[in-house]
């Protein structure tokens, strides 16, 4: 059956309303809803599920990431902050297997995974979203998610529930992915990442370009994932957005981490203030 192209009258922001009193198609799911929210075993220990030690990446001799240490724990979220060009996205590109590291280690559940390609890391339980999503535009929204699930090993933990329902795109299942708005494509990217059943999820500027209401609702989704036991690493410039989700932050500058601690402590730290506002 040929997929229906999304009519322009329907291609609205993902906070689509059918009437003043109608619920949004993208309303935040109830965290207690078994049909929507994920059910993952939460690890209450203080042993990080992901450890990054001395991670470095150089391009033609230029250090884009320089000896970064980072821990991610089940059921917790860490924010990666820093000005443009500070190395945040390069860091998660190295962690997620897009780039091979120049040095250092990445350990997932005690196993060295540094330099493994992204598709292998995905099957081991580490997945990510992208700043600029690239869905398979000629396929439907539903097929974009189904393709991910078809490639996951049977013994891997699978997201318990429909990722499209969780992010609020169940109503767009039969639309071509290319007809989604930019906001909806970000949500589809999140749904695709969740379809792989990750234990560790790296999120690259999911909040960029969203309205205040959209940011609040997406923050609610990420809190649900954290509460369900996922370890989240969130690259983001928007501090108000991060404040709703993260437990700690790492601030980067010139490829190195210059601060580790709470967001409240970060915004009062002289070094952090200097890199954002200038000395």
Residue 44 lies in a domain: no
- What does the angle CA 25 – CA 30 – CA 32 come to, to the nearest 5 degrees? 150
Predicted model pTM:
0.81
**Counting beta carbons within 10 angstroms of the beta carbon of residue 269, is it exposed (0 to 12), middle (13 to 18) or buried (19 or more)?**
middle
| 148-171 pLDDT, tens digit each | 887 775 555 545 678 999 999 999
Secondary structure tally for the chain: helices H, strands E: 9, 10
Query: For residue 196, what are the β-bridge partners?
Result: none
Residue 172 lies in a domain: no
Percent of the chain beyond pLDDT 70?
80
- Domain total for the chain? 1
pLDDT in the model for residue 100 = 96
Q: How far apart are CA 9 and CA 40, in angstroms?
A: 38
pLDDT in the model for residue 1 = 42
pLDDT in the model for residue 19 = 33
| 30-66 pLDDT, tens digit each | 333 333 344 444 444 588 999 999 999 999 999 999 9
Phi and psi based region of residue 170 (left: phi greater than 0; alpha: psi -120 to 50; beta: remaining) = alpha
Residue 256 lies in a domain: yes
Instruction: For residue 79, give its domain range.
Output: 50-132+199-277
The CATH number that applies at residue 95 is 3.40.50.300
pLDDT in the model for residue 151 = 72
pLDDT at residue 28 tops 50: no
Residue 77 lies in a domain: yes
| 156-210 pLDDT, tens digit each | 554 567 899 999 999 999 999 999 999 999 999 999 999 999 999 999 999 998 8
Query: Helix, strand, or coil here: 227?
Result: helix
Residue 5 lies in a domain: no
Residue 91 lies in a domain: yes
Q: Listing from the earlier edge strand, what are the strands of the sheet with 50-59?
A: 62-72, 50-59, 103-108, 111-112
Residue 147 lies in a domain: no
Residue 60 lies in a domain: yes
């Amino acid at each position: 059956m040929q997929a229906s192209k999304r009519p322009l009258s329907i291609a609205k922001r993902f906070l689509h309303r059918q009437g003043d009193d109608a619920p949004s198609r993208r309303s935040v799911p109830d965290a207690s809803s078994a049909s929507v929210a994920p059910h993952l075993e939460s690890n209450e220990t203080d042993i990080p599920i992901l450890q990054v030690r001395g991670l470095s990446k150089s391009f033609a001799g230029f250090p884009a990431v320089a000896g970064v240490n980072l821990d991610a724990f089940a059921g917790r979220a860490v924010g990666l902050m820093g000005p443009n060009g500070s190395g945040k996205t390069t860091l998660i590109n190295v962690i997620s297997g897009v780039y091979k590291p120049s040095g250092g280690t990445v350990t997932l559940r005690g196993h060295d995974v540094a330099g493994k390609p992204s598709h292998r890391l995905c099957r081991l339980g580490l997945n990510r979203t992208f700043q600029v999503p690239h869905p398979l535009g000629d396929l439907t929204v539903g097929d974009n998610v189904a393709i991910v699930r078809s490639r996951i090993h049977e013994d891997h933990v699978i997201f318990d529930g429909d990722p499209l329902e969780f992010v609020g795109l169940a109503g767009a299942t039969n639309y071509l992915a290319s007809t989604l708005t930019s906001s909806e494509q970000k949500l589809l990217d999140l749904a695709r990442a969740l379809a792989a059943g990750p234990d560790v999820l790296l999120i690259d500027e999911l909040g960029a370009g969203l309205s205040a209401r959209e940011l609040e609702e997406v923050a609610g989704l990420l809190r649900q994932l954290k509460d369900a036991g996922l370890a989240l690493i969130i690259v983001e410039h928007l501090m108000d957005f991060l404040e709703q989700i993260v437990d700690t932050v790492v601030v980067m500058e010139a490829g190195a981490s210059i601060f580790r601690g709470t967001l409240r402590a970060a915004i009062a730290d002289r070094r952090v203030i200097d890199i954002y506002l200038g000395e």
